[in-house]
Each structure stands twice: as structure tokens, then as C-alpha cells.
Structure 1
Amino acid sequence: MMSSYSSDVKGGGRGGMTPTPTKIPKHRSRSLSSVSCGSLHHGRGCCAGSSLERLSFLRRSGFRSDITITFPGHDVELKAHRIVLAVSSPVFDVMLYGSMAVDNVLSLPEDPPAAFEWILDYLYCDGCDVPGAHIREQVFRLAHKYHMCSLYHLCSQQLQADVTPLNFSSIYDVAVLVEDEEILEKCERVLLMTDRVLSSPDIVKLSRPALRSLLQHHSLTPSSETIVFQAIINWGCQKLKGKAEDDLRKDVISEGDRLSLRQEVEEFLPLVRFLSMTTEEFVVCVVPSNIFTSQECIAILKRIAGIEGPDLPEVASCEYTRKRKSRPAKESHRQSTEASGDPAAKPPLKRLRGSELKRYSSVREKRH
């Protein structure tokens, strides 16, 4: 039977005498095990068996939440608990408990709501599932931004496993931003399939720094430099579409659009090896874009044809006349095989010379 001690002492007074135990009435002596969770917590459900279940309940219900997360420009509000965010991220620890701590509302104008909501589920529910393809790069960026190490490594491993020529640009973009060497190494292998990477619609998703990094990459080996030029034009047109309602046509554009497009891509044009093109490639693929003036086109064409003429325009100042150098065939085959994930593909066998063949045959005869 449970008992408590009275504040009085035997015989009265405060002489330090042994306290007299006071019996608890029978109707109050029930153990806590006999009290239902519903009577203690009013049916809220927060007496789940495991700590994971209790955290999951807090996430679902918002019970005792003390911070509201908003995303300006989006009609989304998320309830959370300061302590959960703080122990998961040193950045949130400073934001919520530091000298600049907010009151009850945390505004995150730069963060995508769907990705952040996934992160909340991960923090509360100890999720091990990787984020879906539509938000994985966003989750990876946020994990890096808020220094969530375990989530960062989870996303990094997923992106390394999933990179292909079709989604190369979106993954390469975030890898350049956070300087993740492991993802960049995998992207380098996939980049051996340069034509497929540059022709992918995903190319327009590259940020300006990532596009510059890609154009300067030593593994960029297109079959023709026109593919590089067209990728830059596609990227520039997409950027202008985001700034205006009218779509740009990729074949022929107006004078006003020509100037706007040129300003958008001008910093990348000196990285294009125009002199490695044939005159036909330049006339068919470059001239119709109206990126260059007539005088600039004539100057470039004369240099391609080996005819003396005016200097190259500054915007097309690359002097390389050869195509971008490829890696050795054996290494390129090996790395492109690894990038494609085809275990059946093997590098071609080395052809044996006559003397080597005789020596190989004699060794086999001795063994047998």
C-alpha cells in the first residue's frame, strides 16, 4: 500500500522527531497502472507504447506545438516543436533558441513547402524512406542548408545511384552548389554520354554557375560543337521565358529578342569552340539563331575556312580549332558502362600480336 509522510511530527513542534506515516484512504490507493490513458490525457492518444509512436502522434496532431512555420507566397502552415527542430539541426537551434530567436512564427520564404514537410516527417517519425524524385534535390539542398548530416548523406547516396543522362542537369546543379565530391564524380562518368546529356530537356534546369562549370568540364566531349551551342541557346530561351509571357522560337527570333537572348548567354559563348565546326555546321546551326551580327558571322566563317579576315569577335573568342579531346577509348567504355549500370557490357578484348599469340598458345599447352 502506498503511503506519504505528514508535515507534522509526532508530539507536535519541530524538534526533528520521526515523522508519522499517514495512511492513504482506500479509495485513493489505486496504482497508476489501473488508471486508463484516456483519463490521464483526455483521449488525446499521446500514451502510445513507443517513443517513435509518441513522436509520430505529436507530428500528426500538433499537440503542444510551440512554433508555426510559414512559407510566404504559399498557403501552407506547419505546426512543430522547437526542441525537435533544435536537436535535429544546429541552424535551427540558433534560430529558435539563440539571441535572434523568433516568437511563435518561423518564416521560411526560400524553402519549398513540400520538401520541408517531408523533412518534418523524417525528423519526427525517424523515416528511412528516401524522398520522391520530384523533391529529392530540394530535400538535399535543405539538408545541406540546415546541417542535417544523416539526411544529407541519405540523399547523397540516393542521388549518386539515380543520376542518368536524362536527370543529369538537376542533380549536377545541386552537386555544384553544395560541392559534393561523390555526386560530382558519378556525374563525371555520366557526362561521357555528352550528346545525351546536352540534348536532354533537363539541361534548362541548370543554374548559371552550374552551366559554366559544365561547359568547362574536361569530360565534355560532344560529337559536334553545335550540340554545345544549341544547349546554351535552349538554356537562354528558357530563362527568358521565365521573365516574359511570350515564348521565344528557337529557329528565328526578332531583333529585340535577339538582343535579350544574347545578353542572357553572352558569358558562355566564348566557351564554345566555333572554329572546330565546319562551315556547313555554322551556317545551318548557328547563323539562324541570330545571336551574332552579319559582320561577326562573316569573321567567324572566314576563320573556319582558313581565310584571312578580321579578328574574331570578343563574344566568340575561343581559338580552339580541334574538337574537344575524348578520353582513351578503353577508359571511356569502362566509365560509360559503369554510368549506364549495364553489368553485361564489357570492354573489347585486346588483340594479341603474332609473337604474343604463340607464347600464349605454348603456355596453354604446358598447362594442359
Structure 2
Amino acid sequence: MSNNDPASQVSNSQSNANLITDVPSITSTNKNSVSHNLLQSDRSQPSIYSNYQASLTERIGFLLESDIFADVTFNVGEGSSSRRFRAHKLILAISSPVFSAMFYGTIKCEDCISITDCKPDAFRILLQFAYKNELAVGEVQLALDVLYAARKYSMRLLEDECFVYLCGNVSFDSVFAVKEAAEKYQLPALESICKEYIEDHSHDVLKFHYPYLNRDTLLQFIQNDRLNIKELDLFQIIVDWADQECERLQLESSDESKRQLLEPLLPHIRFPTMTAADFADHVVPTEILSTCEIAQILTYISTTDKAQVPIGKVTFPTNKRIVKYSTATVVAGTAGPTPDSTTGIQASSSSSQAAFNFDRRSRGFHRSKKRSRNR
């Protein structure tokens, strides 16, 4: 065995006094192989070799966890929340064309890379997916952050997994964020699921989000014919929104100020569909409507034959919204519509999950090697 042999050098590393004659001879009676002795001679061997039964995937995953042989460093995030990750250029390059161009293209990057537009937790999951082909996200916001990172580095399979997760985990507190991402990344199937979820759980979605909505978004919301919310509840929510807007804009919270803020919204509130008691007890006392408008609406409500009311006599919409389910309190991440006592319609499952399942069947989007890109 030559002194230039790396294996021989490992064997001789224990002592400078070791001679080539110290290497055990290979005979049929020798209990241990030469290779075994060579490995045993160096106690600094990484534990990656301790489990000889580990699969290739497990060994590659160990590289990420242990940092051994790492040849690139990422500093991800900003300030005190930033984190440092060690990785391997080759593993990342075969997972992403962007990383391939960065490390092996004509313009090579440094061995230490700063990334400020990705969240550390999201980048950690991206690395885990590249090494282990696993996606472990426990919340929607994290999935959205991972989706952004996957888009940035063109990791299409990771994008698909994020898409699947988001389709099945829309909830009243996250639906607007998911819808915004669906519009940004042009994912019409996901956008459709969000729209239907908003319609089916309008009361809970509005109650949670109205403090953060601008008037244009609120207007778009109440123009929808398919809101699952009582008209009186919808009116009370926009009045609460006006109160908050007065405070935000440092306006006097007067009836006049609120009326001015609500001017574009009021024509879309279907006052004529309320009961006379609800309108008289809850709407009139707010003094948002004028005396003329109040008289007009009460006259319409009290008229038995609505068909006889001349067109244009009432300036507010007189048709009821198309409501599939009665308003029910929804726990984040779940959807539990109840039968509507007035329509008798029973919902068997969450509409978002139903739409998601339909989309998977119709578009063939499933967890397989061949995936449809028409999302």
C-alpha cells in the first residue's frame, strides 16, 4: 500500500511513529478487514457512517442536520431574528435552477450569501424539502412564506405542496391572506376556494377582518349576492367599521361623519329585506339614514304585495341574498355550517374542502410524480 493512498494516511494518523509494517496483513484468519481497521483508527469520523443501513435519503438528510461537508452559508432574515444555515451547493443545485445558476453558472456567488426577503423558518423548510423531500408546515402563514421562497428559487414541487396545503387549510382568520397570495401567484383554483369560503362564512370572516379592511375592500365584499350573513348583522358591522374609521382619521364620531364614510356602502345594504322590528329597533336609532329613507323602507316592509310597489320607489336593493347556510360560529381551521331553519338546506361538509376535493379530481392535481400545472 502506497504512502500516498488516503486510506493509508488515515491509518497512520494516530502516531507519527507508525510504520507501514504496522498495517495488519490480509489473511483468511484475520478477523477484521483492512478497511475496518482503517476506519477504527480515526475516531473523528462523522457519525454519518455509524448506521451502515441508512438509506441514501437518510444520509443526505444527515448532511443538512450535521453541517459536515457544507460549502455554502446563508444568513437569512434581518436583525435579531436572522439565522445562519450551512448547506451544500450540489444538493441545492439539483433541487433548484436558481441555485444551479448561482453556484455553477457563469456568474458564481460567494460562499456566504445574505437573504433578507425570506423568513428564516420558511428557508429552513425549503432546505429540508431539498434534502429530504418533506414538507412540515403547521400553519397557513408559514405555508405562505414557504410558497414565496419556493417561487423565488423556482422549486416547483415545493410550490405544489404548498398549494395543496393551503387549499385544505383555509380558515376565517387566514382567508384574506391566502386569497391575496392566490391572486399574486395566479392560482385561480385557490382563489376560487377562498371566494367560496368567504361567501359561506361571511359573518365570521367579516367580524374578524373588518377592523383591517379599507372601504374599497368592504364595498367589494357587501356587493356580493352570496353572503351568508343576516342583513342586520352586516349593517351593524359597517357601522362599527365607520366608528373605527372616525377614530383612525381623527374625526368626530358623529352621525354626519359616519354617514359620509358609509355613503358608498349604504346603497348595497338590503334594508327592505329586514323585518320591521329589526329595522325599527336597530337601524333607525343609529340615525345613519335620513327620515325620507326610513319612511320609504318602512312603507315597503309593511306592504303585503311587494309586486305592487313601483320600480324606483325604493332606492335600496329589495332582493334577498342567496344564503346556503345559516350563520354559525366557526373555529379557526374548521367550517361547520348548520342547517338553515328558513331554507332547510343541510351542508354535509365544509365548502372549502368540497371545492378543494373537486379541484383535485377535475384537474388531476394529486401527490404523484406527474403533476398538472393548471392550478
**How high is the TM-score relative to the length of structure 1?**
0.57
SS in 1 for 2:349: helix
Residue of structure 1 in register with 2:67 after alignment: 62
Deviations 1:175-206 (A, max 9, x none): 232232332333333222211221125x6678
Q: Choose which of 346, 350, 354 in structure 2 pairs with 1:339.
A: 350
CA contact (8 A) 2:73 2:84 kept: yes
Q: Which has the higher contact order (CA 8 A, sep 6+)?
A: 2
Give, in angstroms, the shift of residue 88 of structure 1. Answer: 1.6
Partner of residue 78 from structure 2, selected from 69, 72, 77: 72
> CA separation of 1:270/1:255 partners in 2, compared to 1, >3 Å: closer, same or farther?
closer
Counterpart among 244, 249, 256 of residue 250 in structure 1: 244
- 1:117 matches 2:124: yes
The Cα of 1:336 is off from its aligned counterpart by: 4.9
Q: Say if 1:131 and 1:139, in contact at 8 Å, map to a contact too.
A: no
Q: Percent of aligned pairs with the same residue?
A: 22
Q: Distance in 1 between matches of 2:217 and 2:99?
A: 28
Against the structure 1 CA distance between its residues 199 and 206, is the aligned structure 2 distance closer, same or farther, given a 3 Å change threshold?
same
Aligned equivalent of 2:154, options 147, 154, 161? 147
Could you list the per-position Cα deviations for residues 182-235 of structure 1 after superposition, in whole angstroms to 9, with x for gaps in the alignment? 32333333222211221125x66789998787566664454228737846975x
Are 2:193 and 1:186 equivalent residues in the alignment? Answer: yes
Mapped partners of 1:108, 1:209: distance in 2: 35
SS of residue paired to 1:64: coil
Alpha-carbon displacement from aligned partner over 1:145-200 (angstroms, at most 9, x marks no partner): 33322222222222222223344333333223223233233333322221122112
What runs of 5+ residues in structure 2 fail to find an aligned partner?
3-19, 27-32, 254-259, 273-278, 298-314, 326-338, 355-375
Contact 1:67–1:82 (8 Å) recurs in 2: yes
Determine the C-alpha separation between the residues in 1 that align with 2:150 and 2:38: 41
Give unmatched runs, 5+ long, in structure 1: 4-23, 237-248, 260-265, 288-296, 308-318, 344-368
For residue 177 of structure 1, the aligned residue among 159, 176, 184 is 184
Q: 1:138 to 1:167 in 2, by over 3 A?
A: same
Aligned length: 280
| Cα pair distance change 1:269/1:102, threshold 3 Å | farther
In the TM superposition, what is the alpha-carbon distance from 1:79 to its structure 2 partner?
1.3
CA deviations 1:280-303 (Å, max 9, x no partner) are 77776695xxxxxxxxx86xx866
3-state SS of 1:110 partner: coil
**Secondary structure of residue in 2 paired with 1:151:** helix
The answer to whether 1:91 aligns with 2:105 is: no
Residue of structure 2 equivalent to 1:198: 206
What amino acid does structure 1 have at the position aligned with 2:122?
A
Report the Cα offset of residue 103 of structure 1. Answer: 0.7
Change (3 A) 1:250 1:128: closer
- Paired position in structure 2 for 1:52: 57
Change (3 A) 1:321 1:305: farther
Measure how far apart 1:85 and its partner are. Answer: 2.0
Whether 1:326 and 2:322 are equivalent positions in the alignment is yes
Give the letter aligned to residue 321 of structure 1: P
8 Å CA contact 1:172, 1:187 repeated in 2: yes
* Partner-residue secondary structure (3-state), 2:247: coil
Counterpart residue identity of residue 244, structure 2: K
Contact 2:196–2:351 (Cα < 8 Å) also in 1? no
**Letter matched to residue 326 of structure 1:** I
Q: Deviations over 1:95-126 (max 9, x none)?
A: 44444542122222121111211222232233
Deviation of residue 41 (structure 1)? 8.0
Q: Aligned ranges for residues 219-238 of structure 1 at < 5 Å?
A: 219-220=226-227, 222-224=229-231, 227=234, 230=237
Counterpart Cα distance in 1 of 2:350 and 2:295 = 38
* Cα distance between partner residues in 1 of 2:250 and 2:179: 32
Contact 1:159 1:171 in 2 (8 A): yes
